Amino acid sequence: MKNSLRLPLFISILLITTAVSLLSGCSKANPEDEAVVDPMVYLSTYLPPTPVPGAQIYTPTPDMPHSVPMLFEDGDVYTVMPNDTLADIAAVYKIDIQTLSLHNDITDKDYLEVGQKIRIPKPSNLPAGPDFKIIPDSELVNSPSTLLFNTASFLQKYNGYLAAYTETLEDKVYQGSEIVDRVSRENSVHPRILLAVLEYQSHWVTQPQPDATTLEFPMKFKDPSRMGLYKQLSWAADQLNLGFYTWQINAVNRWTLIDGKVIAINPVINPGTAGVQQLMSKLYATEDWQEAVNFHGVYDAYINLFGYPFLQSIEPILPDSLLQPPMQLPFEPGVTWYFTGGPHGGWGNGAAWAALDFAPPGEGDGCVSSDAWVTAVAGGRIVFTGNGMVIQDLERDGYEQIGWSILYMHVESRDRILAGTDIQAGERIGHPSCEGGVSTGTHVHIARKYNGVWIAADGSIPFEADGWISKGDGSLYDGSMIKGNQNVEAWDSRKNENQISR
């Protein structure tokens, strides 16, 4: 069944920035002067033409072949941990112990030192993965095209198991559609691809009574700590992001499947397709993986639900001329905070390293109450609050999926700003805390997105606030904020070295 691109009534008229503003990435000084544009006019500019009936189906997303990296000249490097043996390491990497010992000049296979570096020979003659493009990038991220889709209404058409499903999270009962939308928002992953992979795995979308073996683990990822739809979909979204963002920056060159087989990534695929390939690599052995990432796999499930995916695409999702608008540090002037986290995942482990962490002044460690204020890094509209999260739309159109948006995480419910509020840079949002997500100490986690894509804090558009520029050192949470000759290094505690102020 093809998805109609007609606009649902509830967003029949949408305030968005002009097409020029969207493509340039520049914010306007007077957002109230922006044009009123039907989103279909905006989207139709970038949607490819409908294929002629009977013509060959192709996937036209304009993504040039990637320069596939060799991440290590000699393959992976493993650091010996207590109780490791060479045989254990060889088994993990699916190579024989003799090859491993010769490659590392190890004469005594029964003796290893903790901390010793073991070089893993890089595989030779790896089979290449398919060049088939499954979805465009804008169908993996929570992009502007989500504005044309209503999850609850869509599920009611099929009246499958998911339409009637409920789950309790934080003492609140969520409908199946609400869980999909929550996972979509948190991870910034498109609800359509979440539904497509869920349908491919368990048929929860279309079947009223899916296989009983899928009821606890609907993604068929049978980890006892990830039972239920929310945790299963959250894991899937994290894997989709991991493939998308590592391929986007040429930081991965192969998938390792659950049977231990290693597949070289085909250089012509786009990041959206890489996301699906990564997810399926954690669920299937070679033969089933090949099917899942080809024409009759997730792609077919998507088409059966929503129609041809590349009719929904927005190209380019990130314009070449994209620039960050002016921003401030997320706290009040004259107050010393602490830079506690360099670049790390915007949400979960798979998203781009879009986030930075700042802790308020105070003496207590851990999750302690703070009266310090988190403030807006720029002007905009608050479009969502809840579960420790505040999302701000810098375009002031009321939609986080369009243009620049900011995630503030671990914002306490006490005194927290209300959704729908228009604010200026520097105005108060709430207090830092441990609410929402996972946190071991009171702080604020802040990350940027553009058109639903997480923007790395130390990438080609580094996070810049009050003249401080983020610089990572290649390790999760490590990095510095640099301003002129000042260099503030991230620490996971309060030190003189990581003090920062406006």
Show the domain range for 431: 337-500
In a domain, 378, yes or no: yes
Q: How many CA atoms within 13 Å lie on the side-chain side of 465? A: 30
How far apart (Å, rounded) are the C-alpha atoms in residues 452 and 273? 17
Our count of domains for the chain comes to 4
Query: Quick check: helix, strand or coil at residue 199?
Result: helix
pLDDT bucket at 438, cuts 50 / 70 / 90:
confident
Q: Which pLDDT score is estimated for 197?
A: 98
Residues 6+ apart with CB under 8 A from 414: 430, 431
Residue 123 has pLDDT above 60, yes or no: yes
Query: Quick check: helix, strand or coil at residue 280?
Result: helix
CA-wise closest residue to 103 among 146, 70, 133, 72: 72
- Is residue 183 left, alpha or beta, with left meaning phi > 0 and alpha meaning psi from -120 to 50? alpha
- Pair (363, 466) in one structural domain: yes
Other beta carbons less than 10 A from residue 188's beta carbon: 28
Name the one residue in this structure whose structure tokens are 């993965």: 129
In a domain, 322, yes or no: no
Residue 124 has pLDDT above 70, yes or no: no
- Pair (269, 358) in one structural domain: no
Distances (CA, A) of 197 to 135, 206, 292, 496: 12, 13, 10, 48
Q: Which pLDDT score is estimated for 380?
A: 98
In a domain, 295, yes or no: yes
Residue 18 has pLDDT above 80, yes or no: no
Q: pLDDT tens for residues 147-166?
A: 989 999 999 999 999 999 99
Predicted model pTM? 0.82
Residue of 268 and 324 predicted with greater confidence: 324
Distances (CA, A) of 226 to 27, 220, 273: 40, 10, 25
Residue 367 has pLDDT above 90, yes or no: yes
Strands 404-409 and 444-450: antiparallel
- Pair (262, 170) in one structural domain: yes
- The type of residue at 65 is P
Query: Quick check: helix, strand or coil at residue 298?
Result: helix
How far apart (Å, rounded) are the C-alpha atoms in residues 203 and 295? 18
- For residue 29, what is the DSSP state? S
Residue 469 has pLDDT above 90, yes or no: yes
pLDDT bucket at 299, cuts 50 / 70 / 90:
very high
Residue of 359 and 473 predicted with greater confidence: 359
Percent of the chain with pLDDT over 70: 84
Q: Which pLDDT score is estimated for 15?
A: 30
pLDDT bucket at 38, cuts 50 / 70 / 90:
low
Residue 351 has pLDDT above 50, yes or no: yes
Supply the CATH number for residue 409's domain: 2.70.70.10
Determine the average pLDDT of the residues in 275-282.
98
Burial of 384 (0-12, 13-18, 19+ CB in 10 A): middle
Q: Which pLDDT score is estimated for 94?
A: 61
- Pair (403, 477) in one structural domain: yes
In a domain, 264, yes or no: yes
Residues 6+ apart with CB under 8 A from 298: 134, 196, 197, 200, 276, 280, 292
Strands 337-344 and 404-409: unpaired
pLDDT bucket at 21, cuts 50 / 70 / 90:
very low
Q: For the ranges 69-83, 368-382, 404-418, 443-457, which has the lowest average pLDDT? A: 69-83
- Pair (82, 201) in one structural domain: no
Q: Which pLDDT score is estimated for 375?
A: 98
How far apart (Å, rounded) are the C-alpha atoms in residues 147 and 12? 10
